Amino acid sequence: MTKKHVLALSGGVGGAKLAAGLAAVLAPEDLTIIVNTGDDFEHLGLTICPDIDSVTYALAGLNDTVRGWGVKGETWQTMAMLRGLGEADWFNLGDRDMGMHIARSWRLREGETLSQVTARLTCNLGIAHAIVPMSDAPLRTQVGTDEGWLDFQRYFVAEQCRPVATGVRFEGAPGATPSPAFAAALAREDLGAIVICPSNPYLSVDPILSVDGVREALAQRRVPLVAVSPLVGGTSLKGPLAKLLGELGKPVSNASIADHYGDLLDHLVIDAGDAGDEGGLRARGLCVTVTPTVMCGAEDRERLARVALTAARIETG
C-alpha cells in the first residue's frame, strides 16, 4: 500500500494558507485537515469557530487576504445595528460571515456535532477536502497574563494581545477526545505524513496536541512529521508569537519552535530570512529545509505545500 495520506494540523490565518496550498496539490482522499478549536467561543448566542472559518474561507476562495480573517467583500451593517442596540461590539462579525455563525449555531442547536456541522457547511460551499475540528468537545485556550487568565478571544481581539503573557492553558483538557474523523485519520494504514502548518505552536497547535491521546498517537506513528515554522525573518508576520516567546522567556528563533515540538519533529521548514538558524537545528539532529515561507498568493501557497510534502517524502505528481 502506498502510504500517501497527509494529516495537516492547522490554526487560523497562516495555517489556513498552507492548508489551502495542500488542498490545491493533493486529492481530497489524500488529505485530512485538522483544525484548532481552542479559539472557539460563544458570543451573542452564536458559536464562533474562527480557525475553522479561516480554513473554510481559504479553501473556498472566500477569505479576505488583506484583513487576514473573515470573508472578502464583507459589509458591516449587522455590527452597526448591534452597536446601535448597545450590544457588544468588540468582536467584529461581518454580514456575510454572520451567515456562517448562524448556520453553525442553528445546526448545533438541532443536535449535530461540530464535526457534522463542519462537514455539512464546507461541503455546501463546494469544498471537497476534509476540514475536521480537532474535537467535538469544548477545549478552550486561555492565556495567563499580568491581568489574570483571559479567554483567548478576549486576549487576542479585545485586549489586542497587550497584557504580558505568563502561560497558556486549555480548559477542557484532559477530557476532550479527538473528533471521529481525527481519530480515524490517526489510525489510517495509508497515513504517510503529518504536516504542522505555520501556526502559533503555543496558541494554535498545542490545543490540538492537548486533545486526549493525540500527542501519544503522533509520537507512535512512524511517519515523517514536518512543521513549517511560523517565524519569518526572526519574527512573526502577524499575531503575537514573537511577543509571546519573549514574555515566556524563550528566544525568538526557530530553536524555540524545535524545542517546543521536541521529539515529535523530524523536519523543520524555515524561512530563507532565518537561514542562520539552520546549523543549530541540524546540530540537534533535525532535517531542515530553508525556503521563502511568506505566502502572498496561490502560487506561493502551492509551492510551499510542495516543499513541505517533499520534506515529508510525499509525492505530489
What is the smallest separation between the CB atom of 224 and ligand FO1, expressed in angstroms?
Answer: 26
Is position 207 an interface residue for ligand FO1 (rule: CB under 6 A)? no
- Residue 8: closest CA among 134, 144, 177: 134
Helix (H, G, I), strand (E, B) or coil at 276: helix
Q: Interface mask (CB under 6 A) for ligand FO1, residues 100-119, using x and -?
A: --------------------
Out of 93, 214, 244, 295, the residue judged to bind ligand FO1 by CB under 6 A: 93
Phi, psi of 235 (to 5 degrees): -150, 180
**For ligand FO1, the closer CB: 45 or 317:** 45
Is position 206 an interface residue for ligand FO1 (rule: CB under 6 A)? no
Beta strands 191-196 and 5-10: pairing type?
parallel
Is position 70 an interface residue for ligand FO1 (rule: CB under 6 A)? yes
What is the smallest separation between the CB atom of 150 and ligand FO1, expressed in angstroms?
Answer: 13
**Taking the CB of residue 260, how many other CB atoms lie within 10 A of it?**
17
Out of 48, 55, 195, 265, the residue judged to bind ligand FO1 by CB under 6 A: 48
User: 22, 31 in Cβ contact below 8 A?
Assistant: yes
Is position 40 an interface residue for ligand FO1 (rule: CB under 6 A)? no
Residue nearest ligand FO1 (C-beta atom): 12
CA distance 311 to 195: 10
Is position 157 an interface residue for ligand FO1 (rule: CB under 6 A)? yes
Out of 7, 21, 53, 117, the residue judged to bind ligand FO1 by CB under 6 A: 53
Which span (22-30, 87-95, 121-129, 177-185) binds ligand FO1, by CB under 6 A? 87-95
Bridge partners, 232 (sequence order): 235
| Distances, alpha carbon 159 to alpha carbons 78, 150, 153, in Å | 22, 9, 8
Is position 230 an interface residue for ligand FO1 (rule: CB under 6 A)? no
Which span (149-157, 167-175, 214-222, 225-233) binds ligand FO1, by CB under 6 A? 149-157
Identify residues 270-299 at the interface with ligand FO1 (CB under 6 A): none
| Distances, alpha carbon 301 to alpha carbons 23, 90, 308, in Å | 10, 31, 11
CA distance 153 to 101: 16
**For ligand FO1, the closer CB: 70 or 178:** 70
| CA-based max dimension of the chain | 60
Out of 10, 11, 35, 136, the residue judged to bind ligand FO1 by CB under 6 A: 11
Is position 97 an interface residue for ligand FO1 (rule: CB under 6 A)? yes
Out of 10, 142, 153, 229, the residue judged to bind ligand FO1 by CB under 6 A: 153
Phi, psi of 12 (to 5 degrees): -85, -120
Which residue has cell 454580514?
A: 95
Phi, psi of 283 (to 5 degrees): -60, -25
C-alpha cell belonging to residue 170: 486549555
Could you list the residues that contact ligand FO1 (CB under 6 A)?
11-13, 39, 48, 50-51, 53, 69-70, 91-93, 97, 153, 156-157, 204
